[in-house]
Amino acid sequence: MPAELSPIDKAKFAAAKRAVDLVEDGMRVGLGTGSTAAWMVRCLGELVREEGLRITGVPTSTRTAELARQVGIKIVTLDEAKWLDLTIDGADEFDSELNLIKGGGGALLQEKIVATASDQMVVITDAAKEVVQLGAFALPVEVVPFGWQASRALIEELLISMDVLGRTTTLRLNGSQPFVTDEGNYIVDLHLNRIGDARQLGLMLNQIPGVVENGLFIDICDVVIIGHGDGRVELRDINQGTVEHDQINFAETENLFADLD
């Protein structure tokens, strides 16, 4: 493994490496978006190329689709796949009930559609993403460009009646222009600090005209795999009520990192 790989990247890789053990031959797999999910796609590609694993991937963004093609994973659309056996994705935050905030990478809409069209959602992450209560990470809300300022004003009005600590909202930018999602929408980030009732907030946000979806993933995640920089991994299954521990041997993964030097 390259010496310059950071402890955080090693933690992300360890979680991703453990997660692909859950993928079986013939599965239809949702491929998440973000830095941790990219490790997972690389790991799956290695299994496809070197061990002949046969899977069909459904990417949650154009950049994930591009990476999947590069590493040799067959990809199709969700409409073509119809239903998925498993989705593996990252998260920006998760709590003890495996509720999540996602969307830091701007792909929350496709990520939520794909995750909910799967028999199981597995989240891969590092330990720093675990929180007692959601909200420290800004909550992304995807809105249509038409009248987005009106939608933002309605969001801010809603937050007055919600159990949150902060109510600042910002339009996500790409340089000096609005960030545009794969669906051609904008993202308004809500800086809430703490969310008292995430379920209620998620439901209320989606009732606002112009809001397409929000980054609260409630009762969607089944398993979280937490990686550490020394290769330790912890697998928590919310449905089974189990916790497993494992160890990833970085020395066995030199091929995966060859193109990173």
- Residues with a catalytic annotation lie at 111
**What are the residues whose beta carbons fall under 8 Å from the beta carbon of 134, sequence distance 6 or more?**
93, 95, 99, 100, 101, 194, 195, 198, 216
The one-letter amino acid at 101:
I
Copy the structure tokens of residue 11: 């933690």
Copy the structure tokens of residue 114: 């794909």
| 3-state SS, residue 112 | helix
Copy the structure tokens of residue 132: 């007692």
Q: Residue 243, Cβ neighbours under 10 Å: how many?
A: 10
Q: Which H or E run includes 205?
A: helix 198-205
- 200 half-sphere exposure, CB direction, 13 A CA radius: 9
Q: What gap in Å lies between CA 64 and CA 12, rounded to an integer?
A: 16
